[in-house]
């Protein structure tokens, strides 16, 4: 099966959307961490603290994943920018390999992040 190709402007558009989503999630994680601190101060029992630690670890990992994806997107943007500088007149007519792998990664991230958020909201209803 042949690889799909796409215009640079379409790749760039997706990059912008993804970077915006990732920035939003990163800010939201900061809010979640603050709320988690409130839970930890209010509930010092073993069961609550075990779940607090679980969420602390999950939030740290999600922040790392966001940073990894942001780096990957920015690397791809750098590649596209270099290509635009090399071939400025043909850039609007030239196709580039689709970044399906990155799109798939973002789809997985969205699902995992939504699951984590749902799990955290359920945790808050129990412990706040």
pLDDT in tens, 54-64: 999 999 999 99
E strands present in the chain:
5-7, 95-97
At 101, the pLDDT band (50, 70, 90 cuts) reads very high
User: Is the pLDDT score of 1 beyond 60?
Assistant: no
What pLDDT score was predicted for residue 93?
A: 76
| pLDDT tens digit sequence for 57-91 | 999 999 999 999 999 999 999 998 898 888 877 67
| pLDDT tens digit sequence for 16-52 | 999 999 999 999 999 999 999 999 999 999 999 999 9
Nearest by Cα to 124 from 13, 37, 42, 39? 39
């Amino acid at each position: 099966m042949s690889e799909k190709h796409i215009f640079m402007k379409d790749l760039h558009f997706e990059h912008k959307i993804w970077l915006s989503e990732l920035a939003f999630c990163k800010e939201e994680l900061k809010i979640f961490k603050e709320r988690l601190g409130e839970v930890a101060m209010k509930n010092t029992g073993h069961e609550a603290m075990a779940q607090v630690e679980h969420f602390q670890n999950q939030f740290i990992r999600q922040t790392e994943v966001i940073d990894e994806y942001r780096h990957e997107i920015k690397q791809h943007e750098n590649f596209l920018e270099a290509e635009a500088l090399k071939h400025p007149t043909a850039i609007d007519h030239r196709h580039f390999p689709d970044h399906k792998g990155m799109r798939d990664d973002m789809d997985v991230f969205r699902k995992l992040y939504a699951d984590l958020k749902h799990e955290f909201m359920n945790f808050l209803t129990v412990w706040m």
